[in-house]
Amino acid sequence: MSLLNDAIGAALRENNVAQVEMSGSSPVADALRSLLAPKAAQAGLAADEIHVEPDALQELISRLEHAGYADIMRSWISDGRNEPIEPQEIAAALGPHAAELTRSSGLPREALLQQLARLLPVVIDRLTPHGKLPHTVAAHRPVRS
């Protein structure tokens, strides 16, 4: 199992979100994989073969920073409490990418954004143990606590 899949599974469990639906997968989990490992998700790899792509994680961090949510995002990476984020803030940070995720997930836009707002803090927190970004991302951008 991959760290990304473990992080997504933990976030789904902590937030009481169904992990498997009639289709055999969770649209929200698939959206998170598309966000954090787009190349692998597009290639159709099995969920437990998909690993976080450092460039995708860095892009998400940059989007959150540029949208004005750097402090919130940093709380997810650093040790300590994860600050919440609102669905409309996720939409602002993702920009047109939110529409792409909505189309590919098949979920209504508001439902997807609500789920991402609940799950992303947990997923990012679990992908950054001990308050550290994966090595290849950290080399590109230092994160201040």
Domain ranges in the chain? 3-138
Fold of the domain built from segment(s) 3-138? Arc Repressor Mutant, subunit A (1.10.10)
Q: Give the predicted TM-score (pTM) of the model.
A: 0.85
Using the CB atoms, write b or e for 49-80: b if 16+ within 10 Å.
ebebbbebbbbbbebbbebebeebbbbbbbee
Using the CB atoms, write b or e for 105-122: b if 16+ within 10 Å.
bebeeeebbbbbbbbbbb
Cα 34 to Cα 30: distance, rounded to the nearest angstrom:
6
Q: Calculate the CA 119 to chain-centre distance.
A: 7
Note the pLDDT tens digit of each residue in 82-119: 999 999 999 999 999 999 999 999 999 999 999 999 99
Note the pLDDT tens digit of each residue in 1-42: 688 988 998 899 998 876 655 444 789 999 999 999 999 988
